[in-house]
Amino acid sequence: MRLLFVTGGTGGHIYPALALAACAKQRYQNLELLFIGNDDRMEAQLIPEAGYAFRSLHTSGLCGNAFHKAKAIAQMFHARAQAIKILKEWKPDLVVGFGGYVSAPVILAAHKLHIPIMIHEQNSVAGAANQMVARYADGIVICYERLFEQFDKRKTRLLGNPRATSAAQVKFDAAYYRSLQLDGRKKLILVVMGSLGSSSINAIMCEALPNVHKDYQILFVTGKEHYEDVKKQIPKQDNIHVVDYVKTLEIMEKVDLIICRAGATTLAEITTLGVPSIVIPSPYVAHNHQYYNASVLANVNAAVMIEEKDLNADLLNEKISCIMGNAKLRAQMKEHAKSLGFPNASEDICDWFDEMKR
């Protein structure tokens, strides 16, 4: 099996691709896998660090003034020509695109060369690149049912995010849990706003968390950029543990409530594991897709959604108290969250690889 994955721009595109690559490595003894991504974004570092062959293109998003848009279009045509050369050399059985503007020229190149194409859309609103190339795809994998309205139903399957499979496979690390100064006998609230954190959310957390019931322990993940500021602002309390980063999946088994953003990767993980959540979608993303991601959970009572414009310390504390003080509610939220999970996403997508290759 020769696979070519194209992904880039953000972790939301890259991490599902890496998760699926890990599954494919286990499944196919003769696997040959190549990644294509941007030369100046995070994939250029993350993918080689993960041990995969990587070829780079230089592309930009269609944003800004007319000059910048014209430049981006010129870059896309150049990247398509480069991609055609790579595909002719590599001769993949299948090209899989995970979104991000770098994926568009590669998918267009694969279409020209009559190579089977699959695209994966992680969010509940299709990204611009996937919308652009969906007509050329032979298979489209989605994670939210509402996307059947945006894509051709005849070639679209609801199979989920490969990160869900990764989450289902990670084992609880008791030693790591203890290294965070956490007590296994106490209920745990995890607060994490993504790898970079959020200064606006952190300020509200600094006000709200000291007033949470002292019987609950709180692990507050600030992001590396904000760690020192938060440490200065938040009152020192025995039940509040402030860190800049945490290996979330390795402690998730003990998390009673997570307060988080509504990125595709995060929601794939917490639905698979069935973690009750308070979700604060970022308003600073394309097409406001985090709001729609979060709405899916909120609509089935798997999560409480608070929009950032409505967030304040009193409201947050009210929601925390309501959930943490009601074991029956948490059990229901857990069950409802799991109903949205796709723990077998990677294997199901690989099954489709096999169909398309034949």
What digits encode the pLDDT tens for the residues 1-27?
Answer: 999 999 988 888 999 999 999 999 999
Per-residue confidence band for 73, with pLDDT thresholds at 50, 70 and 90:
confident
Per-residue confidence band for 66, with pLDDT thresholds at 50, 70 and 90:
low
pLDDT at 64 over 70: no
pLDDT at 45 over 80: yes
CATH architecture of 168-338: 3-Layer(aba) Sandwich (3.40)
Average pLDDT, the chain: 93
Over residues 245-263, the mean pLDDT reads 95
pLDDT at 196 over 80: no
Q: Which of 160, 171, 140, 158 is nearest to 343 (CA)?
A: 160
Over residues 308-318, the mean pLDDT reads 96
What digits encode the pLDDT tens for the residues 143-190?
Answer: 999 999 999 999 999 999 999 999 999 999 999 999 999 999 999 999
Write down the CATH number for the domain with range 2-161+342-357. 3.40.50.2000
How confident is the model at residue 197, as a pLDDT? 55
> Would you kindly state where each structural domain of the chain is located, as residue ranges?
2-161+342-357, 168-338
- Fold identical between 2-161+342-357 and 168-338? yes
pLDDT above 70 covers what percent of the chain? 95
Q: Which of 203, 212, 195, 162 is nearest to 27 (CA)?
A: 162
How confident is the model at residue 61, as a pLDDT? 67
What DSSP assignment string belongs to 283-307?
Answer: SSSGGGHHHHHHHHHHHTTSEEE--
Give the type of residue at 301: N
Any idea what the Cα angle at residue 339 is, between residues 335 and 343, rounded to 5°?
A: 110
CA distances from 40 to 44, 60, 99, 321 (A): 7, 10, 16, 44
pLDDT at 232 over 80: yes
Over residues 327-350, the mean pLDDT reads 97
Per-residue confidence band for 357, with pLDDT thresholds at 50, 70 and 90:
confident
Per-residue confidence band for 62, with pLDDT thresholds at 50, 70 and 90:
low
